[in-house]
Amino acid sequence: MKAFRASILDFIDDPFISSEQSFRYFEDGLLIVENGLVLACDDYFTLKNTHPDEIARSNIEDYSGYLIMPGFIDTHVHYVQTDMIASHAKQLLDWLETYTFPIENRFSDPKIAKDTADFFIQQLLQNGTTTAMVFASSHVQSVDAIFESALEQGMRLISGKVMMDRNAPESLCDTAQSSYDDSRKLIKKWHHHQRLDYAVTPRFAPTSSEEQLEAAQQLVEEFPDIYLQSHVAENPGEVEWVSKLFPWSRSYLDVYDHYGLLTARSVYAHCIYLDEADREAMAQAEASVSFCPTSNLFLGSGLFDMQAAIDKGLRLGIGTDVGGGTSFSMFTTLNESYKVCAMNGFNLSPLQSFYIATLGGAKSLNLDDRLGNFNVGKEADFIVVDLNATALMKRRMSHTESLNEQLFALMMLGDDRNIKATHIMGERKYWTNGSVKVND
Ligand code: GUN
Ligand code: ZN
């Protein structure tokens, strides 16, 4: 049994809709963890009364002066694009051809795949991300590599083999049949293996034939609790291309809907150029959106309409979308999400922001029975945040008067320097000690 003493923040309700207090905050809190799961979380002195025996038996780690929060959940990221993050290109389609496809081609080499997967997982931990929904490449070995690396750290992670049989370099293309066969084998090997889950991963409609989308449909029907991840309505040129490739479709999203790929276990990145009928279809299907602000700005894709998503009650998580996205940091990603929303007439609050990055993300991945806050029995994936990690932040924090002000300054100024430690199932997997960064 372990216990961690610090200020503690988590969410118990959705601040986008709840008029009640959506969060819990203990200035002097204690998180007790047994066998990797939350045993109790409350005010330190309250727990001293209610759980004296557990506290007596616990090894208490004192993080006083720091803030414990649930680990961040990145609902859309490409590990195979780690090495080409921040590549100067024009918009999406040019960027894909010039940088993305060539780098993904390297993942036929299992050594490159494992080396990159290890580095990627360390980046997640260093940035306080404890769960991610991850695109691999079209190579089977790229999926093995990311699952193996996540397994080594005990991380909860979802990934899948990219299905792509046209409009991409020959060497990256599979076929409808081979993508079905390979995905099926990978599902049997990895889905529900410890904390790992599989996502059927058609890259996006333009790189799949209708036959391949049918193969994806077959997998989703055959394995009802499988995830599905893809991209939709990201860029005007892409939307136009889809309307030419699928002339019968009412909209881009309609292509996926037609093949039964709009489900309560599907997560669609971007969702910028959706219309009301699309949003209604997503709401009916209970499909999730992954909002990817740094990517949408970097690739000049457009501004996500947060208000429209909220009005429809869409399930929403946030994605770094590295390498289209420009940072692994969830603070940086929230910073840019605030600005994207501001440009689109929505004033995103700090509580809403941190909710999306934690419990909201867990809900969007149907993992809120295990992750997202410190309810008793949940998996104890958490981070220890240093609000005063830089000289500027220390100065700024000394002028804040409320938790809201502190959280806002944190998301606007924060980055990986603010992550003091990252714990997976209670175990410390990453921490900084002064200026020395250590991977346990
Ligand atoms: N659409 C299809 N593939 C990709 C990708 O790799 N990144 C982004 N941002 N959009 C895509
Ligand atoms: Zn993406």
Cβ atoms 290, 76 nearer than 8 A = yes
255 lines ligand 1 (CB under 6 A): no
Distance, in Å, from the CA atom of 281 to the CA atom of 311, rounded to the nearest integer, reads 14
Express as a percent the part of the chain with pLDDT over 90.
97
Strand partners, 2: 33, 59
Ligand 1: distance of its center to the CA of 256 in Å? 16
18 pLDDT band, cuts 50/70/90, is: confident
Q: For a substitution probing ligand 1, which of 95, 142, 229, 234 has the most ligand atoms within 8 Å of its CB?
A: 234
CB half-sphere exposure, 199, CA atoms < 13 A: 32
Distance, in Å, from the CA atom of 255 to the CA atom of 251, rounded to the nearest integer, reads 7
203 lines ligand 1 (CB under 6 A): yes
Write down the pTM of the prediction: 0.98
Please tell me the number of the ligand nearest to residue 320's CA: 2
Residue 105 has pLDDT above 90, yes or no: yes
The pLDDT tens digits for 36-69 are 999 999 999 999 999 999 999 999 999 999 999 9
296 lines ligand 1 (CB under 6 A): no
Nearest CA to 383 out of 435, 332, 330 is that of 330
Distance, in Å, from the CA atom of 201 to the CA atom of 193, rounded to the nearest integer, reads 18
284 pLDDT band, cuts 50/70/90, is: very high
The pLDDT tens digits for 396-412 are 999 999 999 999 999 99
Residue 436 has pLDDT above 70, yes or no: no
Distance, in Å, from the CA atom of 86 to the CA atom of 89, rounded to the nearest integer, reads 9
374 pLDDT band, cuts 50/70/90, is: very high
324 lines ligand 1 (CB under 6 A): yes
Please tell me the number of the ligand nearest to residue 204's CA: 1
Ligand 1: distance of its center to the CA of 270 in Å? 10
433 pLDDT band, cuts 50/70/90, is: confident
Residue 20: predicted pLDDT = 79
Ligand 2: distance of its center to the CA of 135 in Å? 8
Ligand 1: distance of its center to the CA of 131 in Å? 20
Residue 435 has pLDDT above 80, yes or no: no
Residue 437 has pLDDT above 70, yes or no: no
Name the region of 113 (left: φ>0; alpha: ψ -120 to 50; beta: rest). Answer: alpha
The pLDDT tens digits for 175-225 are 999 999 999 999 999 999 999 999 999 999 999 999 999 999 999 999 999
Ligand 2: distance of its center to the CA of 393 in Å? 31
Cβ atoms 233, 256 nearer than 8 A = no
144 lines ligand 1 (CB under 6 A): no
If you average pLDDT over residues 126-144, what whole number do you get? Answer: 98
Mean pLDDT of the chain: 97
302 lines ligand 1 (CB under 6 A): no
The pLDDT tens digits for 304-320 are 999 999 999 999 999 99
Ligand 2: distance of its center to the CA of 282 in Å? 19
396 Cα distance to chain centroid: 28
Residue 440 has pLDDT above 80, yes or no: no
